[in-house]
Amino acid sequence: MGAAEKNVRGMGTAAKAAVFFTVLVAWVLLDQFTKSLFSGMQPAGVLAGPFAGLIDIRLVHNTGGAWGIFSDSTFGLGVFSVVVCVVIAGFFFATIKQTSGLQTFAFALIVAGGIGNAIDRFVQGYVTDFIEFSFIDFPVFNVADIGVTCGFALLIIGLLVSWRKDGAEGE
């Protein structure tokens, strides 16, 4: 790949790898820090809020997945998270030359979120969730969940942009 082709996708592979690892580590640290604020506390109703009429702080010890699926399957969900993170990271590095900067950021958020919740599952036996929308009925979530959700949305956007660029170049 020539220098001109490298610039079409934005960054070189070393820069993408650095962004991936930096975002991954920063997001896991942010996730673990926010969860540590509730260390030793037991779930008990709304702790604070609503903030701007949107969000409450409600501590939940989640032994299952979103919406309570697979309740009491903490270890199995932790193993599943690690396997999925390894597969996603492997796919990212296998396709790093074709991956845009936005896609790199997205992959890092997804993997970081999975790792953040897996750490909880293996260390505590549950995931610490604490963010609750006060205006809709939605599961309580955490910073790791935000990484997975936003990362997935950004990945879709990045793929659509990439496909559009590739289509425009082919015309």
Predicted TM-score of the model (pTM): 0.87
Catalytic residue (one of 31, 137, 145, 166) = 145
Pairing relation of β-strands 127-133 and 46-51?
Answer: unpaired
Reply yes or no on whether 145 is catalytic.
yes
pLDDT of residue 3: 43
Encode pLDDT of 57-88 as tens digits: 999 999 887 766 777 778 999 999 999 999 99
| 129 contacts 145 by C-beta, under 8 angstroms | yes
Catalytic residue (one of 31, 56, 120, 129) = 129
Reply yes or no on whether 120 is catalytic.
no
End-to-end, the C-alpha distance of the chain in Å comes to 21
Take residue 156 and report the two structure tokens written for it.
Answer: 């879709």
Residue numbers of the chain with a pLDDT score lower than 50? 1-8
| 16 contacts 96 by C-beta, under 8 angstroms | yes
Whole-number Å distance between alpha carbons of 144 and 106: 13
Closest to 85 (Cα-Cα) out of 33, 158, 28: 28
Q: How is residue 65 annotated by DSSP?
A: S
